[in-house]
Amino acid sequence: SQTIHQWPATLVQPVGSPLSLECTVEGTSNPNLYWYRQAAGRGLQLLFYSVGIGQISSEVPQNLSASRPQDRQFILSSKKLLLSDSGFYLCAWSGSGGGSTYEQYFGPGTRLTVT
């Protein structure tokens, strides 16, 4: 069966510091991968998605970037964090190709607090 991991689970970082959040998927190949942010009391905002290694699409211009160095690894980064980057970051995967049934499966999330 497929599983999705995110780490770290929680992170407290000062303003201006760098960020690296990691997401890995097991049990599937060539997944579509997604990064979402969920601010306190708000819905989900899609930040990035990827349909393959090195292929990243950005949904919202911002202080963040994403990379996909391996098929099942998705990384969210920032060079200098802002207070507004605080939130709950969720990684998700979905199947790709003609047999996809479109649903996304989410990881446990990373709680980021920028101080």
Partner 1 sequence: AQSVTQPDIHITVSEGASLELRCNYSYGATPYLFWYVQSPGQGLQLLLKYFSGDTLVQGIKGFEAEFKRSQSSFNLRKPSVHWSDAAEYFCAVVTGSGYNKLIFGAGTRLAVHP
CB of 103 to partner 1, least distance (A): 5
Residue tagged 């098929």 (tokens): 71
Residues binding partner 1 (CB under 8 A): 32, 42-44, 46, 49, 51, 57, 88, 90, 92, 94-96, 100-109, 111
d(CA 28, CA 20): 23
Nearest CB to partner 1, comparing residues 16 and 52: 52
State yes or no: cis peptide before 8, omega within 30 of 0: yes
d(CA 10, CA 94): 24
Nearest CB to partner 1, comparing residues 13 and 88: 88
CB of 76 to partner 1, least distance (A): 15
Query: Within 13 Å, how many C-alpha atoms sit on residue 49's CB side?
Result: 12
Nearest CB to partner 1, comparing residues 25 and 80: 25
CB of 69 to partner 1, least distance (A): 20
CB of 16 to partner 1, least distance (A): 27
Contact 33, 2 (CB under 8 A): no
Q: Which two tokens stand for residue 20?
A: 């690296």
Nearest CB to partner 1, comparing residues 80 and 95: 95
